[in-house]
Chain A
Amino acid sequence: MAKRRMIQAINDAMFEEMERDPRIVLFGEDVEISMFGDTKGLRERFGPDRVRDTPICEALLTGMAVGMAAAGWRPVLHMMFANFMYTGFDAIANQMAKLRLMTGGQMKLPITIMAGFGGGRSTAAQHSDCPYPLFMNLGGVHVAVPSNAGDAKGLFKSAVRSDDPVIFLEPGGRGGEMGEVPDGDHLVPFGRASVRRSGSDVTIVAISAMVKLAEQAAKQLAQDGIEAEILDPRTLVPLDEDGILASLSRTGRLVVVDEARDRCSAASQIAAVAADRGFAMLKGPVRRVTVPDVCMPYAPVLERSVYPNAERIADVVRELLNCRDYR
C-alpha cells in the first residue's frame, strides 16, 4: 500500500499502462502541461508522437479517437472538463457508442475519454456538470466514476485495457485527496461495487465524490445508533445490480446519493432497479439525494443550497427509518 493523491494515482496508472502498451496514445487539450496533474510528465517520458496537445476542437477530437481506435491504436482522449464532452458528443453518441454494433462487431474501439466532472467549487454552470446519465443511456460506452485514489488507479488501468469505449470521469476538486493505493499491477474490474462501510439499517449507494459525504452522514447517524451500509458502484455501466440488491437484502432500505441533476439521474436508474428487482425487500420508498433540476449557480451560498451534503443525506435516512415498514 502506498499513500497517493487521486490525481497522482491516475498519473501512475498512465505511466504504467503507456509503458506496458506502445499502442496507447494520449491527446487532448493541454495534456502536456496538464491542468489537473493527471497527465503530468508523460510528454517528457513518451514523446510527442504518443502525448500531444490538440487545438480546442472537441467535435473533431472525439471522432479522431474513433478513427485511431478503428485503425488499431488505443487512444486516450483528455477533454478537461466534462461539460466540454457535450461539444464532442456527436462522435461519442453517433459513432463511438454505435459502430461496434453497426459494423456487426467488426470494429473494436478501445478508447478512453477522461475528464473532470462535478461541482462544489464555484466553477458555475458550464464547468460543473455530471453528464454520466447521458453516457449511461447511450448503451455502447462504459462509464467509470472513481471515488478514491486506489479505485481511480485500478479503474483507469482497466479502462485503457478494455477493448470498448470507456468514459472515465474524475471527481473535480477531489484530485488532491490522499488515499491508499495497493501495490503492484492494481486493476479494479468493471461492474463490481465496493462496500465502503458495513451496516444493517440502510444502504446508501453513493457515486464518486458523494461517497465521502455519505461517510460523513454515516458517522452522524451512528451516533444515533443507525448503521448505514455504503456502497460505491465504481462503474455505472456496467452497474453492479446484484451487489446493490445484495446490500438491500441486508438492510431493506435504499438511499441513492448522486451529484447529477435529479431527473433521469444515475440515482433514478438505481431506484428503478431496486423497484423492479428488489421490491419485496423494500421496507420503504427508495430515496434519492441529488442536485435539483437546476444548473449549478456560482455563488458559494447558492451552490451549497443545491449541492448534496452529509446533513441532507442523514436527514433522508432518518425520514426513511421513521417510515412504517411497508413489507
Chain B
Amino acid sequence: MRNDYHNPDPEKLVAMFERMLVIRETEEYLGAQFRAGELPAGVHLYIGQEASGVGICAHLGDEDWITSTHRGHGHFLAKGGDPYAMIAEIHAKSDGICGGFGGTMHVADVSRGILGANGIVGGGLGIATGAAFAAKLEGNGKVAVCFFGDGAANQGTFMEAMNVASLWKLPLLLVCEHNGWSEFTRSEVATSGRIIDRASPFNIPGFEADGNDVADVWRVSGRALESVRSGEGPALLVTYTYRTRGHVEAEVNFLSQPYRSEEEVASWVAKDPIERGAALLAQGGIAEEEISAIRARVKASIAEMAKRARSAADPDPARVRSMMFSAAEA
C-alpha cells in the first residue's frame, strides 16, 4: 500500500523541529568558537540547510546508511548522531566520535549508519553506491542515502553512480542539496542544464523539494524512499536550499572581496527553515509556550554538552601509529 505522505503528524513535526534546532544551536556554538580562536580549523556550517537533512533522515533508521559532505554536521545530527561526541570531535578531544582523528570534515558514526562526512567533493557517491549494493545483497529493506551538493553533481562519479545503481536496481537515494554554490563559484557558472534532468536518461525517477521547508522535504523524500525501498532502484531528490553562512567560517580571513550580496543572503534568511518549522507547528496547533520550551531545552542541552566537551581530555599521540591498520591495534 502506498503511504500518503501528505503531511507529517504533529508529533513528527515537533521531533523534526527539535532536530533542526539541535543542528542550529550546535553550529552557532561552533561558529562562535571558531571566531574566538577556540577550534583548530575552520568549520563548514550547514546553517540554513537543516530542513533538508532532517526531513530526509526522519524516514531512516540506524540500519540505513548515509554518506555526507564536508558540510556534514547537519547530516550527522539529523541521522541521530550524538551532539556531545560531535562537538568533542570538533574540539579535537578524545571523547570525540572519531577520537579526535577525523575532525569537523569527517564526523562518522558507523553504528548509526553514518559512513562519514567527507572532505572530497563527491566522495560519498561511490561509498553510498557500495553500501546500497551491500543492502541489496542483504535484501532486508535497508537503503543508502547519499547527500551531496550541486558542486558534486559535476563530478563524473555522479553519472557513474546513477548508471550502476540503475542497472543493478540498488536501493540508493541520491540527494543533491542544491545551495547554489560550489564553494565560491556560483552554480550557474559551474553547471549546465538542470541537475534534476540528469536522472531521467538513466531511468531514474527525479523528485524536487523545497529544501527550506521540512514538511515538504519530509513528504517528497518519503515518496522517493518508498520508491527506493520497493526494489525499483535508485531515485534522485534535489532539495533547493541555501547556506546562509560562508562556505567555511574561516573565509572572512582569506577572501579579498565578497562573492555574494547581502541582499541575496537576506532573501534566504527570510526563508529560514527553523522559523518556517516553528510556523508549521503553530499552524498545527502547538502552543507558542511549547515551542519556546523546546527552544530553551535544546539551547541548555547543547550548552551543557559544549561545556563538557571543552574540558574533555586531549587524544593520546601514542595511538596515531596504531590507527592505520586493524591488526596493529589488536
Contact = CB atoms under 8 A, between A and B. Distances in A.
| A is bound by B | yes
Interface in A147-176: 162-164
A179 B193 CA distance: 57
Interface stretch (A91-99, A247-255, A276-284, A309-317): A91-99
Interface size class of A (residues with CB under 8 A): 35 or more
Nearest to A63: B126
A64 interface: yes
A94 B123 contact: yes
A71 B67 CA distance: 12
B329 to A, nearest CB: 6
Interface in A164-202: 164
Contact of B101 (A25, A103, A108): A103
B53 interface: no
Interface in B99-119: 99-102, 106, 108-111, 115-116, 118-119
B160 A60 contact: yes
B255 interface: no
A163 B326 contact: yes
Contacts, number: 146
Contact of A104 (B97, B111, B134): B97
B227 interface: no
A30 to B, nearest CB: 15
B129 interface: yes
Contacts of A54: 164
Given A70-B115, A105-B329, A90 B132 contact: no
Contacts of A62: 126
Nearest to A190: B327
Interface in B219-237: none
Given A60-B161, A105-B323, A164-B327, A67 B132 contact: yes
B141 to A, nearest CB: 14
Which of B119, B131, B144 has the most C-beta atoms of chain A within 10 angstroms of its own C-beta?
B131
A139 B101 contact: no
A60 B102 contact: no
Nearest to B146: A67
Given A25-B137, A59-B157, A99-B116, A106 B110 contact: yes
Contact of B129 (A64, A73, A104): A64
B77 interface: no
A94 B123 CA distance: 8
Interface size class of B (residues with CB under 8 A): 35 or more
Contacts of B144: 67
Nearest to A61: B126
A63 B130 contact: yes
B163 interface: yes
A306 interface: no
A68 B131 contact: yes
A65 interface: yes
B127 A73 contact: no
Given A102-B102, A140-B324, A70 B329 contact: no
Nearest to A65: B130
B133 interface: yes
B156 interface: yes
B157 A60 contact: yes
A104 B160 contact: no
A289 to B, nearest CB: 30
A119 interface: no
A255 to B, nearest CB: 30
Nearest to B109: A106
A163 B328 CA distance: 11
Contact of B126 (A60, A99, A102, A103): A60
Q: Lowest 9 CB-CB distances: which A-B pairs, in order?
A: A63-B126, A67-B130, A104-B99, A64-B130, A71-B134, A104-B98, A60-B160, A67-B127, A57-B160
6 contacts: A60-B161, A66-B126, A73-B134, A95-B123, A103-B98, A164-B326
Interface of B: 65, 67, 96-102, 106, 108-111, 115-116, 118-120, 123, 125-135, 137, 144, 156-157, 160-161, 163-164, 167-168, 320, 323-327, 329
Given A55-B163, A64-B164, A140-B325, 20 more contacts: A59-B157, A60-B125, A63-B127, A63-B129, A68-B133, A70-B127, A70-B131, A71-B130, A71-B134, A72-B134, A90-B120, A100-B324, A103-B101, A103-B102, A103-B106, A103-B108, A104-B99, A105-B101, A163-B327, A164-B326
